[in-house]
Amino acid sequence: MTQDKTYENVFIARQPVFDESGKTWAYMLLFRDSMYATSATFTDDAEATMHVLADMPLCSLGTEKGARTMVHFPGEAIESDYHRALGAECGTVIIEEREKITPKLLKAVEDLREEGYLLAINNFESTPGQEELCAMADVLIVDVHNKDDFELHHLVKDATELGKARLMAKRVETLDEQRRAKKQGFTLFHGFYYCKPEVDTGRKIASGEITRLKLFKIIGRDEPNFDALAKAVEADVSISYRLLAFLNSPNFGFATTITSIRQAVVLAGWKPIRNWLRVVILTDVTPSEKSRELTYLSAHRAKLFETAALGGGYEEISDKLFMLGLFSLLDAMFDMEMKQLVKHLPIDDAVKRALCGVENDFSPWLRLAHAIEASRWDDVGVMTRALNLLPGTIAVSYQHAFSWADSFFGSDHDEKTS
């Protein structure tokens, strides 16, 4: 029986690539067309890639304006000009080092670089016979996980002899791996080291940070109290300004300009405005030297969990799941142990325990987020089944969370830089 093709179950992981200063240089898109044998299928990798490119706002991804977009392409897709959907102004084409080299492929690569695209060679191992392709690269991507200094030194040496390509370290899991790669000459980094706290035992949460966290109590009520909420927002000039800028942005399209806080909280709605304020507060208490990617990722997780809950039979705990996602990286933000931080949070005790690593009903949601973000698609399937969710529910919720987080951080960025 021939299966009808559907595209609702496309899973896309969007992972930041950092430069040596910690700024987001690019976002790498990783995708899978399905999770179960009964879900969506594509005729080939090129078709899947084209679908991803058609659906994503590629030049405005994430929280860093001007960051590039990196997408893997099979050789045949490059020869067929599929990469043009990416856009030269922000696009970096990734191709495997072991791709079969043909005159047609080399000509296509030469053309795309002349058009302004960057070329990245993935899994660079200095493989004999691939020198001509690697010499054309702007970026050479090396898997540094479990490689010792001797191996890295020789790969860097071989890369230097090929040309002036930047070296990108991928699968950077720890701060030590990032530091070793930087010492060897790598200037771009991709991995999850930034999500892991480097716990400072002397670090104490400041009184100002505690005050901001306590604002969660004001917005924690399920029953709407617009007067109390408006007064709380009006008492903070920074939050008031950002709220008005956010709601008057093109993302909402209100017919009239919103000029008062009372008007803002009523028009936005009780639950949406509470969640917006939660993200604002979390952004404000995050130490300034930390990348905004952590708060972006936290907000994305929060909206992913909430949306999937509302569409998957977990409506009663959707708000708790939002808080679970929102605070899931708090230890990395503050470089403190989670058990110290949750003391200041007015959230459900079961959520606190899950955040601290205690296994309970909320734990699978955290594992689901980790699996998607790390592109461990088989684990995504396991977690989805464990939660009794449909793959389409997770896929649609994941993309909706992107739109929501991009809208929030996009307006926040514009307001701060205008």
Q: pLDDT at position 14, please?
A: 80
Domain identity same for 190 and 212: no
* Strands 11-19 and 188-191, sheet pairing: antiparallel
Which of 26-40, 227-241, 344-358, 392-406 reaches the highest mean pLDDT? 344-358
Residue 1 lies in a domain: no
Domain identity same for 164 and 238: no
Kindly report, residue by residue over 123-142, the tens digit of the pLDDT. 999 999 999 999 999 999 99
Residue 2 lies in a domain: no
Domain end among 195, 229, 253: 195
Instruction: Give the span between the Cα atoms of 8 and 96, in whole angstroms.
Output: 28
Residue 6 lies in a domain: no
Kindly report, residue by residue over 245-269, the tens digit of the pLDDT. 777 766 666 777 777 777 777 777 7
Domain identity same for 186 and 304: no
Domain identity same for 25 and 74: yes
**If you average pLDDT over residues 215-232, what whole number do you get?**
73
> Can you give the CATH number for the domain in which 169 is found?
3.20.20.450
The one-letter code for the residue type at 101 is I
Domain identity same for 265 and 410: yes
> Can you give the CATH number for the domain in which 244 is found?
1.10.3210
SS3 26: strand
Kindly report, residue by residue over 351-366, the tens digit of the pLDDT. 999 999 999 999 999 9
- Under DSSP, the state recorded for 82 is G
Domain identity same for 171 and 228: no
pLDDT at 210 over 70: no
Provide CB contacts within 8 A for 337, sequence distance 6+.
Answer: 197, 199, 331
Provide CB contacts within 8 A for 72, sequence distance 6+.
Answer: 30, 49, 94, 95, 96, 122
* pLDDT tier at 410, thresholds 50, 70, 90: low
Domain identity same for 213 and 191: no
Residue 36 lies in a domain: yes
Quick one: tokens of 214? 């306590």
Q: pLDDT at position 203, please?
A: 60
**If you average pLDDT over residues 288-293, what whole number do you get?**
60
Domain identity same for 160 and 264: no
Q: pLDDT at position 157, please?
A: 96
Of 52-66, 100-114, 158-172, 228-242, the least confident: 52-66
Residue 187 lies in a domain: yes
pLDDT at 5 over 50: no
CB 81 within 8 A of CB 91: no
Domain end among 195, 222, 253: 195
Domain encompassing residue 134: 11-195
Residue 201 lies in a domain: no
Domain identity same for 173 and 212: no
Domain identity same for 211 and 191: no
Q: pLDDT at position 276, please?
A: 81
Kindly report, residue by residue over 10-25, the tens digit of the pLDDT. 567 788 898 988 888 9
Q: pLDDT at position 236, please?
A: 67
What average pLDDT does the structure give for the chain?
A: 80
Instruction: Give the span between the Cα atoms of 75 and 72, in whole angstroms.
Output: 10
Which run of H or E residues covers position 404? Answer: helix 391-417
Instruction: Specify the number of domains making up the chain.
Output: 2
Domain identity same for 108 and 46: yes
Instruction: Give the span between the Cα atoms of 27 and 13, in whole angstroms.
Output: 10
Q: pLDDT at position 100, please?
A: 92
Domain identity same for 187 and 245: no
Kindly report, residue by residue over 199-208, the tens digit of the pLDDT. 555 566 665 5
Domain end among 166, 195, 224: 195
Residue 3 lies in a domain: no
pLDDT at 170 over 60: yes
